[in-house]
Amino acid sequence: MSKIIDAETAVASIADGSSVGCVGVIGWVTPDALLRALGERFRKTAGPRDLTFYFPVGTGDAQGIKGMDHVAQEGLMKRIVSGSYINPVDPLTGRRPELMRLIRENRIEAYSWPLGATMHWLREVARRSPGYMTRIGLGTYIDPENGGGKFTERAKDDLVRRINFEGAPYLFYPTWKLDTVFIYASSTDEEGNLSFENEALVSSNIALVLAAKAHGGRVIAQVRRVVPYGNRPASEVRIPGVFVDCVVVDPSMMMTTDVKFEPAYFGGRRLPFSELPLIMMSPDKVVALRAAKEVRKRELSIFGFGAAADVPLVMAEQGMFEKNGLKDYWFTTEHGSYGGIVMSGWQFSANLNPDAIVDGIQQFDAIDGGACRFAALAFAQFDGAGLVNVSKFGAANPGAGGFIDIAENAQRLVFTGTFTTGGLEVAFAEGKLRIIKEGKVRKFVDRIEHVTYSVIDGVRRGQTARLITERAVFEVTTEGLILTEVAPGIDVRRDVLDQMEFAPWKVADDLKLMDEEFFLDMPGRARAS
């Protein structure tokens, strides 16, 4: 009997009070038709009610691929646990995601866990173990001593505990069952055997399936196409049909935001470097150009969202990858694409021209095991105590994503971002930087709003860390920040020190100027591969 049904039928049996897990990485591998069908069912029937949603990663773009925003409805969503949240302004409506409104207005129980925990927790659910235990995140916002990952006042339950094991503190995430999971694949046959041959990421697909089945849960898949039974090598089938209850076919589904289908994201073709997007001259590009100087050959380098993700693209513009030079640079992100070029913006998470793709749990095994020796990450706030925040600031509640796992386990850290934000305007002329209008929001603050990571503790453990902005570079030491570089054209007192709410430990005696080439407003030099 065929397992292929329509989306409305697939979600019809989800009951009040149940828990639903779902794969997705921004727009990538997002079963949008399933989430949309569930959201529409509630709008039409006022049921099911009071669901708990588990999103290992923020799912959808809240625009063309709405993802988690389909189910962001009071009454339908009682609780959400997610590794990250999506918070863009829709250019067509000027509105932020509905889920962000529910969180800001305390309409739901919202929790945010580090991405490593959301992935590894699934393994423990699948093993029917009591829970996931880790030292990663101690002292950060996920530590119960700092809030336990609760993002709204309605979030009363302690989903994370601080425990002692053999005399040392750990964080413990108790397991609970997932009644239904939504997953995403390329192909199915009528028996529900699933393969991912045309996908840029695998993410938490496999882990969600095993977690659901360990407790009698239901697995619903969304796929692009149906292939005849026995038409694929068994090695291509990553999820056996015996674990799949039903499949919904959506041949029109997007690969990700703004990308209908691009084989270069999974190795189906090699994209020439001349077709790469050029990064327009901006403060973020200056940051990426300076951060690129920190990248070393033959060292596994992991890049986070924001200006950090532009680093491989500006390296390509500079011709650093010509004559097979890309083989000497080992790039990845927290989502499991290895090799090739990390993309930025809505295409972040996957790499163009990758060498390999691993699933989400394997990737965080590698990250937590210290395989990524160099990490370039964004920052939203940094304070005088050596703490960094990217997880909750102002009206934004993005969560940490993979930041905590990456930062705690890399050896060399670079934090990237503009010096101020909220209306910053600059000009570039003759290799110099001029501040036209200062940003309204300071990022070097007396005290951060949310503890995502203690950089100073990492330095004490032997990590090295730099903060790179468009106008200044700092070295993080156990005593505090040392200002080591400034942009040509910048006044140190007016444009740097007076824009900080705390004083750096010192200004280097041999204070250097950043390279003038970073500030030349020239078109990029993309090269053919």
For strands 444-445 and 387-389, give the pairing: unpaired
Cβ atoms of 160 and 149 closer than 8 Å: yes
Q: Which residues contact 426 (CB under 8 A, 6 or more apart)?
A: 283, 433, 434, 435, 436, 470
**Residue written as token pair 């705390």:** 502
CA angle 451, 454, 455 (to 5 degrees): 135
Catalytic entry in 334, 438, 470, 475: 334
Written as one string, the DSSP assignment of 253-318 is --SBTTBS--GGGTTSSPPPGGGSPPPPSSHHHHHHHHHHTT--TTS-EEE-SSGGGGHHHHHHHT
Q: What region, left, alpha or beta, does residue 257 occupy, with left being phi > 0 and alpha being psi -120 to 50 degrees? A: beta
**Residue written as token pair 């090699």:** 270
For strands 331-332 and 301-303, give the pairing: parallel
Cβ atoms of 197 and 187 closer than 8 Å: yes
Query: Could you tell me the CA-to-CA distances from 50 to 76, 77, 296, 463, 476 in Å, in that order?
Result: 5, 5, 50, 44, 46
Q: Which residues contact 89 (CB under 8 A, 6 or more apart)?
A: 95, 96
Report DSSP state, residue 393.
B
CA gap 372, 409 in Å, rounded: 8
Cβ atoms of 40 and 7 closer than 8 Å: no
Interior/surface letters 319-336, b for 16+ CB within 10 angstroms, e for the rest: ebbeeeebeebbbbbbbb
CA gap 465, 376 in Å, rounded: 10
Looking at residue 374, its amino acid is F
334 is catalytic: yes
* Type and span of the H or E element at 163: strand 161-165
CA angle 79, 250, 358 (to 5 degrees): 70
Interior/surface letters 342-365, b for 16+ CB within 10 angstroms, e for the rest: bbbebbbbbbbbbeebbbbbebbb
Q: Is the dihedral of CA 264, 265, 266, 272 positive or negative?
A: positive
**For the chain, first and last CA: distance in Å?**
48
For the chain, the residue count is 529
CA gap 348, 302 in Å, rounded: 12
CA gap 352, 266 in Å, rounded: 8
Tokens representing 199? 């996908």
Please give the positions annotated as active site. Answer: 334
